Amino acid sequence: MELRKNRHSVYKLNYHLIIVIKKRRKLLTPAIGEELRNIVIKIVEEKWGCVISEFGFESDHIHIAFEAPPQVQLSKLVNSIKTASGKRLRNCFPELKRFDSLWSPSYCLLSTGGAPVDIVKRYISEQKGDPANPS
């Protein structure tokens, strides 16, 4: 496991983001999906300083696996992706201009990687000085 470092922290924060097209419309063609990939990479990596490890799409949703530094506010990152990509896609693909909003207001964001929660809880409870488990 490769840890990343910045000025004040050492971290390994991986996420899986799923964003759905509003009303599950099947709008993402291969051409639109590839343009969307380029837009998302630019936003996530250049603007937010995250690292995308995987991007995939189906006709009605996208998946993004990425790593983020701890100072990134995830809800703002997601909002940035949805707002900027929607505007840029509507500019590139005139057929999308008829939709006032491309994305559903909802999204799914999952943390990934690392040890399972039960192992982390056990590790913490076994540390010296834990009032719940005196040594």
| Chain segment 75-107, per-residue pLDDT in tens | 999 999 999 999 999 999 999 999 989 999 999
Tokens of 44: 């996530």
Q: What is the CATH number of domain 4-125?
A: 3.30.70.1290
Tell me, what's the pLDDT at 129?
A: 63
* C-alpha–C-alpha distance, residues 54 and 37, integer Å: 10
Identify the band that residue 124 occupies on the pLDDT scale cut at 50, 70 and 90.
Answer: confident
Residues 9-68: tens digit of each pLDDT? 999 999 999 999 999 999 999 999 999 999 999 999 999 999 999 999 999 999 999 999
Q: How far, in Å, are 10, 38, 75, 98, 133 from residue 72 at the CA level?
A: 14, 21, 9, 33, 34
Tokens of 12: 């390994």
- Can you tell me the mean pLDDT for 110-115? 84
pTM: 0.86
